[in-house]
Amino acid sequence: MSLLEAQNFLARIYTDENLRREFLSAPEKIGRANNLTETEINELAEVFPEELNSFAESLFYKRLREVEKFLPLTKYLLKQDFEKYFRLFADSYLPSTVKKHLEDAVEFCNYLQKNNRISDVAKNTAKFEQARLEFFGNEKRLVVKIFDYDINTRQKRKHLAVWLRIGKRNIIF
């Protein structure tokens, strides 16, 4: 296995709780299924499960803290549920671009908007923060969104937000 393939497998082991659990219970089977050599399987299997899980948890919390910085309003509305939903999201999504934390935040907003257990106000807030991130983070020139709730009052009423970039000026209304 090449170094890149080994690094990708390790990244998956650290970020995918199900794969990590499967590998720890059947290292040879999962290792072979992922093109690891016998030596690589043995080396990984020698790592204590506590160390593997501890490192994986530290990566998860680093990811969570970075996304919380991008989504303060959504974090405020969801409170402790923010972490619970992010854990569910993170188990099935791994960012692939150079702007990993930004990508994580935008895709987490998509996930929240599709989640039926989330309040409409929280979905609306995630949609707002996602639009803001797409404008500033992805350097779009124009983003126009219609919201069902006023972001400031959380009252149900249609609300239009426009982010416009003209030259180096950002215009928001």
- Based on the domain organization, do 102 and 25 belong to the same domain? no
Q: Which amino acid is at 135?
A: F
- Based on the domain organization, do 138 and 96 belong to the same domain? yes
Owning domain of residue 103 = 48-172
DSSP-derived letter for residue 118 is: S
Could you give the number of structural domains in the chain? 2
Evaluate if residue 3 carries a pLDDT over 80: no
- Based on the domain organization, do 35 and 116 belong to the same domain? no
Q: Do residues 32 and 68 make contact, with C-beta atoms less than 8 angstroms apart?
A: no
- Based on the domain organization, do 28 and 89 belong to the same domain? no
To the nearest whole number, what is the mean pLDDT of the chain?
A: 92
Specify the pLDDT at position 52.
83
Largest CA distance in the chain: 61
Q: How confident is the model at residue 1 (pLDDT cuts 50, 70, 90)?
A: low
Distance of alpha carbon 45 from alpha carbon 48, whole angstroms: 8
Specify the pLDDT at position 11.
83
- Based on the domain organization, do 34 and 53 belong to the same domain? no
| C-alpha distances in Å from residue 144, one per residue of 116, 147, 168, 171 | 24, 10, 18, 12
- Based on the domain organization, do 90 and 30 belong to the same domain? no
